Amino acid sequence: MPFKNTPDSRFFFPGAQRGAILDALIYAICGGESMIKVVGEVGSGKTMLCRTLQLRLPDSVEVVYLAHPSLTPDNILHVIANELHLDVRAELNRFEVLSTLQHCLLDRHAMGKQVVILIEEAQNMPLDTLEEVRLLSNLETQQHKLLQIVLFGQPELDQHLGTKSMRQFKERVGYSFDLPPFSISEVRDYLNHRMHVAGSQASDFFPPRVIRRIAGYSQGSIRRINLLADKMLLAAYAQNASQLTMPHLLNAVKDCVFNQQPWRLNRLKRVGYLWPVVVMTVLFALFQSSTLTPQDLGASWRQPLSERLVADAEVGNTNSSTVTKTAIRARTDVLDSGRVTFTKRFAGRGAKILTQRQIETRRWIASVDDSYYTIQLMTRTGTSRAEVEWIEQVLSQSQVAPYLNSIHVHEGVIGGQVVLAVSYGHYAGFSAARSALVELPKLLTRFQPFIRSIRSLENEINER
C-alpha cells in the first residue's frame, strides 16, 4: 500500500525541500535552539516530517511528543512531566510541578542529554497554554537551554503568533519553516518515490498527463495526492490494468469530497514559494560559517568515537591539525573494528561497480572531514537483489562515468529500516555543494537529491 495516508517514515520524500528542512531541524535542535516553528497547510506532510524527525534525532535527544495540544496551562505541565516519567500527583500545583520538571531537566543536562517537545496541531493550542510553553523555554543554565520546543501547525498558528499578546512568543522563535505545496514535477517525483519504496521498478506507471491532472486536483497537497493515487491503484488492480489512465483518475476524483476544480500555480505564487528555498540557503550558509564545535554542542549528537576524541582534544587545547589526525585515525579504527561494515557481498550478484564504490567509500568516510557536505543522490530501502541490480544499472550508464570516482555507496539504518544510499562528492560548504548539484546530469538528479552533512551520514552508518 504505497499511498496509505499514515506517516510511515519509510516513505519519507526528501524532495520539495522536505529533506533539506529535516536536516535543518536536526541541526537547529542539536545546536540548542530553544524555539522552532514549522507551518504547512492541511495535508502538507507535517506529521510525516515530525515522525521522521523523531527517528533521525540522536539518542542524546529525548523527545516529548504532544499530538493533542488542546490543554490548559496547568494540564500541559502535568502532561510533559508524565511523558518524562516523573511521579507528579494530580493535586500538585503549578509551581510544584514546574520545580519537579526543572530538577529533572537539570539531571538530564548533567547526563549530556537534551529534551525537546514536539507539538503537533499547535494552532489548536490555547493562547494561555502557548504562553506557558514560552515560559518553559526560560528554563536554562548559563550556557544551554534545558528545554527546546518545536511547533508544527497550520497557517492559523502564524495568525495567533501575530497578535499583540503573543509578541514575546513570536520573538522567541529562532527558526521558521514553511512547507509549500508540490509543483507538477514534484508530484511526479513523489509518486515515483512512493512506488519505488513499495517495491515497484516501473518509473512511468503514472503517465505525464495523469500526473498533471493529479497535481491540479490535489492542489499540491500530499494527503490528496495519496488519496487519489490509492483509489486509482485499487481501480487498476480490480481491472488488472498495467498502467493508470485518465478514467481511473476521474473516477477517483468523483469519489473524493475535496475541491475538484483543477488548479495551477500562477506566476506570483511560484515566486512566493521560492522564498523557502532562499531561507534554507541562508540557513545552511549560517550553519556553514558557524563556530560551533563538538565541545559547544556537548552530547547533542550521537557521537562516534572520532567525534568524542575531537571533543576531548579540544578540551585539552590540542591544536587543530592534531585533532584532525586523531579524528581520522579514530574513524579508521572504528571501520576496521567492524562497527561500520563494508563488504564485497554484492560482488556475487554481478554488482561490480557497486562493490568497488563501497570499497572506496570505506576509505573516503574514514578520511573526509565530517563538517563537510555531500550530495545524497538516492536512497533505496533494503539490499535485495532487485535493489542492488537497479543501482548497478544506474551507475553503469555512460552519462555517469565521468562522475563515478566521486560516487559513494553506503549501508545505513533509517527508522529501523536498512537502506542503501548513494551520494556524490564532498564540499567544505553548503554553497559549494549546491553549485555542484546544479552541474550534475539529469540521470543523477531525477531522484530528488539533497545536500546533507558528512556528520549526519556517519550517524546513519553507525546505526548499521
- Could you tell me if 75 and 206 lie in one domain? no
Query: Is 47 part of a structural domain of the chain?
Result: yes
- Could you tell me if 25 and 142 lie in one domain? yes
pLDDT attached to residue 429: 80
Residue 117 clears pLDDT 90, i.e. is over it: yes
pLDDT attached to residue 273: 45
CA dist., res. 245 & res. 236, Å (int):
9
Number of domains in the chain: 4
pLDDT attached to residue 339: 37
Among 66, 149, 150, 139, residue whose Cα is nearest residue 109: 139
- Helix axes of 18-30 and 275-289: crossing angle, nearest 10 degrees: 40
Q: Is 237 or 261 the better-scoring residue by pLDDT? A: 237
DSSP, res 181: P
Query: Is 271 part of a structural domain of the chain?
Result: no
β-bridge mates for residue 153, sequence order: 39
Instruction: Give mean pLDDT, residues 395-418.
Output: 80
Residue 310 clears pLDDT 60, i.e. is over it: no
Instruction: Give mean pLDDT, residues 49-63.
Output: 93
Residue 256 clears pLDDT 50, i.e. is over it: yes
- Could you tell me if 213 and 194 lie in one domain? yes
Among 34, 162, 46, residue whose Cα is nearest residue 105: 34
Report the mean per-residue pLDDT for the chain: 78
Instruction: Give mean pLDDT, residues 384-394.
Output: 79
pLDDT attached to residue 146: 94
- Could you tell me if 335 and 382 lie in one domain? no
CA dist., res. 340 & res. 327, Å (int):
15
Q: Which residue has the cell 540548542?
A: 32
β-bridge mates for residue 424, sequence order: 375, 407
- Helix axes of 208-218 and 222-239: crossing angle, nearest 10 degrees: 130
CB 174, CB 21: distance < 8 Å: no
**Which residues constitute the domain of residue 100?**
9-179
pLDDT attached to residue 338: 39
pLDDT attached to residue 222: 96
The CA-to-CA distance between both ends of the chain, in Å, stands at: 26
Q: Is 288 or 48 the better-scoring residue by pLDDT? A: 48
- Could you tell me if 145 and 226 lie in one domain? no
pLDDT attached to residue 297: 32
**Long-range residue pairs from 395-403, CB within 8 A, at least 24 positions apart, any chain:** 395/353, 395/354, 395/357, 395/422, 396/353, 397/443, 399/441, 399/443, 399/444, 400/441, 400/443, 400/444, 403/440, 403/441, 403/444
pLDDT attached to residue 430: 72
pLDDT attached to residue 383: 66
Q: Which residue has the cell 510525516?
A: 48
Q: Is 401 or 434 the better-scoring residue by pLDDT? A: 401
pLDDT attached to residue 347: 45
pLDDT attached to residue 335: 44
Q: Which residue has the cell 488488472?
A: 240
CA dist., res. 40 & res. 238, Å (int):
35
What is residue 403's three-state secondary structure?
A: helix
Residue 195 clears pLDDT 60, i.e. is over it: yes
Residue 342 clears pLDDT 60, i.e. is over it: no
List pLDDT tens digits, range 125-159.
Answer: 999 999 998 888 889 888 889 999 999 999 999 99
CA dist., res. 446 & res. 189, Å (int):
8
- Could you tell me if 393 and 462 lie in one domain? yes
- Could you tell me if 393 and 321 lie in one domain? no
List pLDDT tens digits, range 244-255.
Answer: 999 999 999 988
Query: Is 4 part of a structural domain of the chain?
Result: no
Residue 317 clears pLDDT 50, i.e. is over it: no
Q: How far is CA 249 from the centre of its chain?
A: 31
